Chain A
Amino acid sequence: MTGPFPPPGRKNPLTLTRVPLLPPKARSRKAHLLTAAAATGRFALPCCGGCGAFAFPVPEACPVCLSPDLPMTDAPATAVLLSQTVAEVPADSYFRERSPWRVGLVKMDAGPTALVHLHPGCVTGDVVRLSLLLDRAGQAVLHAAPKGNTDMTTDPQWHEMTAHPRHRRVLITDARGFGAAQIAASLKKAGAREVVLGLPEAWKPFDGRGLDGLTVLPLDMGSERSVADFVRDHGHKVEIVVNTADHPRPMAAATPQALREALEAVALGPHRLAAALAPVMVARGADGPYGAAAWVNVLSVHALAPMPAMAVYSAAHATALALSHGLRAQLAAGGVRLANLFAGPLDSPGFQPMPHPKVSAGAVAGAVLNALTRGLEEDAIGDVARDLMQRLAENPKAVERDLRG
């Protein structure tokens, strides 16, 4: 179903490319509690520890009992649509470019009343399903859609607040990387116009199994020249990047050389690509309906919780994570989002001595697609990563001791 999203024709080379504008982005520090929930796909609201009332927007104190104890709590994601309207000529330039823009007033089942972005299928008086999304400015907003099995991809406003691969061109950084074929197939099936896979060290064997119909091009993120050549030829044709750089060496001693190799593979290489490609993506953040949309990093969960037995590996991924925050800030200027997906041990030779459960290639592919279609900034891949991230939030020292073994 294409709905309001017909396949794009070739761009008119004589037209000026639209400069990416962003929706209003000023928020209070408190409001970023919602950002944290939206970034991970949760529907959570501040909930008073004293009286149990939910609040929206995020207040300094409970509007019912004035308690300052307002932890973010998963809330019922349903509401009744009280009224709706369509802004035909919005005053804000970002929304005017994308008008008409539908908004509605909802009464949440959790209690508060809120203004929301609205799916075109919503009917006043009906029950709607709420989501917290990150808009193009990276700020949390409420979106309402008809309850039930609604095709969200028909909503241009949802499309604007996610990074659906449909009609977009995707670069997967390493054709030999874990899950490359599965990620490519998944994104192609979701409607990606083209999936390009980078092939580093083309002089090494590469059988290309499972990559029929896809494009494999030389791209060695370790080489400044290779990256520059790739970006010169193809940088303006990449709307989504999936970076799968990895370098697991479970038995390697934590020598400086091992660290250098891991950093080069996991952090410096993608950083080199980002330095060349990110400015192009920022400039193309509003290049038609399918402009540059997202950069996805598949990282190890040990970027967050270093594992002593794989200290070098953890350090490389932690470095990549730190660099990703700089890249996210850079991409944000164009409304391009960056998602970090944290995987547990992969089902690959690099994690051969580690105990199960391990993350399958299909699970990685599913997580990448999920992050893009829901506009997430952060997610876990696999039970090990999910458990570690949860325990890390509760007691980082306990996790450190556990990982010491």
Chain B
Amino acid sequence: MTLLDTLVAALGAGSVRVVDLTQTLTEDFPIIALPPELGQSAPVRIERISNYDASGPGWYWNNLSFGEHTGTHFDAPIHWHTGRDLAQNTVDTMPVGQMVAPACVIDCSAHTDPDHLLTVAEVQAWEGQHGPVPQGAWVLMRSDWSRRSGAAYANLQADGAHTPGPDAEVMRYLVHTRGILGFGTETIGTDAGQGGHFTPPYPAHHYLHGAGRYGLQCLTNLHLLPPTGAVLITAPLKIHHGSGSPLRVLALVSERV
């Protein structure tokens, strides 16, 4: 019996569960909003080609359009200027082996401040309980922000978005000290809503992609994952020279034995 046979059997028996960490790709899900004079991400658009009607009597299908960074999506290193010159920095060239990797979930959901920042102290407190964040693992910041919707989810104020995220120091720690594979959030970006005012601006993007690491955002169902032990399957669309892509993020969670 191979390891895969064992896995398949465990999946069949339910001792390994598959958890969907993906938001449904819809037209009214908030996306990144930049100043109007800058280039904008195309929103998600789903347009009917036919619906068993005169345009196609026996079949239903749609045309899709969206920016690379819409819905639950993956950020490749080339997305940020710091990762622009790295090898294999696009979604079509990144190593496929890195599309399956373990995940650590840091629960920040007790913090109700929309501007809550994940800090080194918080990570180290988590490590005190669960052990060091392993090299090559995803770190997922659970905020329960995905339980919000619409305007409360985007939380755009006159001075920009107010959503939780990491501070600059913790990103240096996770990327350079722990060597994580990537960082994931439930909000629209891997950075905090006010991350543009940090030093450097947007530190999650800056450090992750500068080191060839990845980002995941707009995740959901993180409360269904254990602090350690889950395995993420994160396969972005193979877009030529793509900087990211919407994707289905699945987690394999094993029952404790």
Contacts and interface: CB of A to CB of B under 8 A. Distances in A.
Interface in A198-237: 201-206, 218, 220, 222-226
A356 B46 CA distance: 41
B91 interface: no
A26 interface: no
Interface string B147-169: 00011011011100000000000
B33 A224 contact: no
Contacts of B37: 249, 251-252
B40 interface: yes
Dominant secondary structure at the A interface: loop
A155 interface: no
A202 B29 CA distance: 10
A267 to B, nearest CB: 15
B12 interface: no
B156 A204 contact: yes
B27 interface: yes
Given A222-B43, A224-B47, A202 B27 contact: no
A205 B46 contact: no
Contacts of A204: 33, 151, 154, 156
Given A202-B151, A204-B33, A224 B39 contact: no
A203 B48 contact: no
Given A220-B27, A261-B40, A203 B150 contact: yes
B50 to A, nearest CB: 13
Most chain A CB neighbours (cut-off 10 Å) among B46, B151, B158: B151
Nearest to A202: B150
A225 B24 CA distance: 15
A12 interface: no
A206 B154 CA distance: 13
B48 A224 contact: yes
A257 interface: yes
B60 to A, nearest CB: 14
A205 B39 CA distance: 20
A148 B47 CA distance: 54
Contacts of A261: 40
B30 interface: yes
Interface string A244-263: 00000101100001001100
Contacts of B45: 222-224
B212 to A, nearest CB: 28
Contact of B28 (A203, A206, A251, A260): A203
Interface in B42-90: 42-43, 45-48
Contacts of B43: 222-223
Contacts of B28: 201-203, 218, 220, 223, 226
Interface in B118-141: none
A205 B157 contact: yes
Contacts of A260: 42
A205 B151 contact: yes
Contacts of A225: 27, 46
B97 interface: no
Given A223-B27, A225-B27, A251-B37, A203 B46 contact: no
A274 to B, nearest CB: 15
A202 B43 CA distance: 13
B36 interface: yes
Contacts of A202: 28, 150-151
B39 A257 contact: yes
Nearest to A252: B37
Contact of B46 (A201, A220, A224, A252): A224
Nearest to A255: B39
A249 B36 contact: yes
Nearest to A204: B156
A91 B151 CA distance: 59
A356 B151 CA distance: 36
Contacts of A257: 39
A352 to B, nearest CB: 11
Nearest to A224: B47
Nearest to A247: B36
Contacts of B33: 204
18 contacts: A202-B28, A203-B150, A203-B151, A203-B153, A203-B154, A205-B157, A205-B158, A220-B27, A220-B28, A223-B27, A223-B28, A224-B46, A224-B47, A226-B27, A249-B36, A249-B37, A251-B37, A260-B42
Interface of A: 201-206, 218, 220, 222-226, 249, 251-252, 257, 260-261
What are the 3 closest A-B residue pairs judged by CB atoms, nearest first? A223-B27, A203-B30, A203-B150
